[in-house]
Amino acid sequence: MTTPIIDLQHVTFKYHAQAEPTLHDVSLQIFPGEKVLIAGASGSGKTTLLRLLNGLIPHAYTGDLTGELTLNGRAILDQTLSELSLQAGTVLQDSDAQFVGLTVAEDIAFALENDHRPVAEIKQAVATWARRFGLGARLDLTPQMLSGGQKQRTAMAGVLVDDGKLLLFDEPLASLDPAAGWEAMTMIDGLQAARDLTVVIIEHRIEEVLRANVDRMIVMSAGRIVANDTPTAILQAGILPQYGLDEPLYIQLLRQAQVDVRQLPDVADVQRVDVAAHATAIAQLRVPIQPSVHTQPQLQIAHLDFQYDKNQPLFEQFNTTIHQGEILGIVGKNGSGKTTLSHLLTGFLMPDAGDIQLDGQSVLSQSIKTRAENIGYVLQNPNHMLTKSTVYDEVASGLVLREVTTDEIETRVRAVLRLLDLDEMRNWPIAALSFGQKKRVTIAAVLVLSPKILILDEPTAGQDATHTQELLTFLTKINQQEQVTIVIITHDMHLLANFVQRALVVVDGQLLADTTPAELLADEALVKAASLRTTSIYQLAARLQIARPEELNAAIQQQTHGYNKV
């Protein structure tokens, strides 16, 4: 029997700052050459577990720890962070913040520089690893010039340059668009095989991680390991939803078609699972898609020109119309102008030429403050928006600054808080909120000004299945009850396929398509240009030769909406 590379026995850990342990009696073993997915909803303890493996606990975070932890047969606690780092390389979640070098080359070289190795040797190693990760031509680029995927590849090269055998990934998909995420998973799979690595991936997006052909899945919930088995066995057992995790979309579809997943072999691989017998049942789930009925123009963007740099125009003669009451998605690869477009709408940036009209009136002469009263904008990072100490004050501040009477403020703030299910938390300190709750507070703070249009930048980034579902419920409510037009900038395929009514594909300042999500996802060239990736439903439909897979998406949409009402 082989000895495990990682061995945890009865580990319980409590952060000093917290009253309750974050991990309870965790025991697990990971063997050389395995690819293991550690999955769990927010707050399940999966990040804490990773910190135990790479030594950040106890070296950077202190707390009370009991149990046995060994890495390569030696107690983790007896080793320094440096010793551990030579055995286990960590790729952190935020690929931008962990990029410590001024350029790609220096970032890859960082660990070797710290080992005081000769410069000639470092240069050789950097060249080799950069080539392996397709970064050979980008050695001199700064992180500001790289895409998320390139930054993550730099991080991987910077860790593997040590020739370590164990790689730990903390939410590798979080800062990537779907196409880059798919590539990253493919790369991890290939790398593991080629270099005989052991790989541990912490993620909650199971659909995408299965692409890396993981051997084992460890499911965590409330600080405990609740399942530890092959992906097939775990999917057969159907336990993921009860722990706040989304099953892969094709599995959701199979369940809806009454396929008995419990005995289905190869159920974790959408390319191999044998469901040919159920093709008819699955095809019958198709729901005709209702075309969007919104035709009343609300916001018109006409002949818009904009450039950051004199020689690089981004938008040239950009035209589009946003309709009253619709849910619009703006998609496109990173750095192609989506956020710039929203900044032009909110007045954060001024166009060089052209006009933006709201209900027939140009908004260009309005200040940012005035424009915010009609076009609300929720930033991706809630920490960029929150400045007050309590939920109530935060939501009220926009009204206070507009000199609304105290009584009216009270009424409006409470109404918005109730709408977003925050009323009971109105006196909570902001600091005590989770990321998802903070996000909701920022939406409330924008919504309290009663904007006609609400723009959200990546609203589901960093949120697990439960929180995403909650958010969509609120947005639906706002859209239907308050007739607020919703514009979402996103790469979230689930959001795009199941929530958005109309999609704009913006790539390099060009409006490549103005279409329904279904048609967008059916068009392979467009999907590629927008750096998206069709979901497993499309793969399953292709195998079963079911036409119009978008109508299968709609089936899942109905199911989720049903779930909302419960």
Partner 1 sequence: MNNTLFGYKQRHTWLNQTTGTAKLVGFLALTSIGMLSYDTRFLLGLGVLAIALMRSAQIKYREYAFMLKLVLIFAVINLIMVAVLAPQYGVQLYGTRHVLIGRGYWALTQEQVFYECNLLLKYLFSLPLAIILLFTTNPSEFAAGLNKIGVSYKIAYAFAITLRYIPDVQRDYQTISLAQQARGYEISKQATLWARSKGAVQIILPLVFTSLNRIDTISQAMALRRFGREKQRSWYQEQAFKNRDVIVILGALVVVGVGIGLLFSNHGRLYNPFHTS
Using CB under 8 A as the binding rule, the residues of this chain from 156 to 185 that contact partner 1 are: 158-159
Q: Does the footprint of partner 1 cover residue 387 (CB under 8 A)?
A: yes
Residues with Cβ within 8 Å of 536's Cβ and at least 6 positions away in sequence, in order, are 207, 248, 249, 250, 270
- Extract long-range pairs of 479-483: CB within 8 Å, 24+ residues apart: 479/325, 479/327, 481/419, 482/419, 482/447, 482/450, 483/324, 483/325
Give me the least distance between CB of 108 and partner 1, in Å please. 9
Cα dihedral: 533, 135, 38, 542 (round 10): 20
Which residue, 51 or 278, is less far from partner 1 as judged by CB? 51
Q: Which two tokens stand for residue 53?
A: 């493996």
Which residue, 165 or 343, is less far from partner 1 as judged by CB? 343
Residues with Cβ within 8 Å of 5's Cβ and at least 6 positions away in sequence, in order, are 30, 31, 32, 71, 72, 165, 166, 198
Give me the least distance between CB of 461 and partner 1, in Å please. 15
The single residue among 254, 385, 527, 540 that binds partner 1, judged by CB under 8 A, is 385
Number of residues assigned to the chain: 566
End-to-end CA distance of the chain: 49
Among residue numbers 286 through 325, which ones bind partner 1 (CB under 8 A)? 308-309
Q: Which two tokens stand for residue 531?
A: 């750096």
Q: Does the footprint of partner 1 cover residue 432 (CB under 8 A)?
A: no
Q: What is the total count of residues that contact partner 1 (CB under 8 A)?
A: 71
H or E stretch at 408: helix 406-419
Q: Does the footprint of partner 1 cover residue 137 (CB under 8 A)?
A: no
Q: Does the footprint of partner 1 cover residue 117 (CB under 8 A)?
A: yes
Which residue, 111 or 537, is less far from partner 1 as judged by CB? 111
| Residue 451: Cβ within 10 Å count | 19
CA–CA separation, 476 vs 252, rounded Å? 22
Which residue, 16 or 384, is less far from partner 1 as judged by CB? 384
Tell me which stretch binds partner 1 (CB under 8 A): 28-36, 316-324, 398-406, 527-535.
Answer: 398-406
Nearest to 243 by CA among 433, 436, 434, 42: 42
CA–CA separation, 463 vs 380, rounded Å? 12
The single residue among 18, 62, 66, 113 that binds partner 1, judged by CB under 8 A, is 113
Which residue, 102 or 364, is less far from partner 1 as judged by CB? 102
Give me the least distance between CB of 20 and partner 1, in Å please. 23
Among residue numbers 448 through 487, which ones bind partner 1 (CB under 8 A)? none
Residues with Cβ within 8 Å of 119's Cβ and at least 6 positions away in sequence, in order, are none
Q: Does the footprint of partner 1 cover residue 62 (CB under 8 A)?
A: no
Give me the least distance between CB of 124 and partner 1, in Å please. 11
Which residue, 281 or 379, is less far from partner 1 as judged by CB? 379
Q: How far is CA 362 from CA 18, 75, 299, 322, 326, in A?
A: 52, 67, 10, 14, 21
Q: One symbol per residue from 249 to 288: x for binding partner 1 (CB under 8 A), - otherwise; what is it?
A: ----------------------------------------
Q: Does the footprint of partner 1 cover residue 56 (CB under 8 A)?
A: yes
Q: Does the footprint of partner 1 cover residue 75 (CB under 8 A)?
A: no
Nearest to 475 by CA among 426, 518, 392, 419: 419
CA–CA separation, 537 vs 517, rounded Å? 14
Among residue numbers 323 through 382, which ones bind partner 1 (CB under 8 A)? 343, 346-348, 367-369, 371-372, 376-377, 379, 381
The single residue among 1, 2, 17, 116 that binds partner 1, judged by CB under 8 A, is 116
Q: One symbol per residue from 35 to 54: x for binding partner 1 (CB under 8 A), - otherwise; what is it?
A: -------------------x
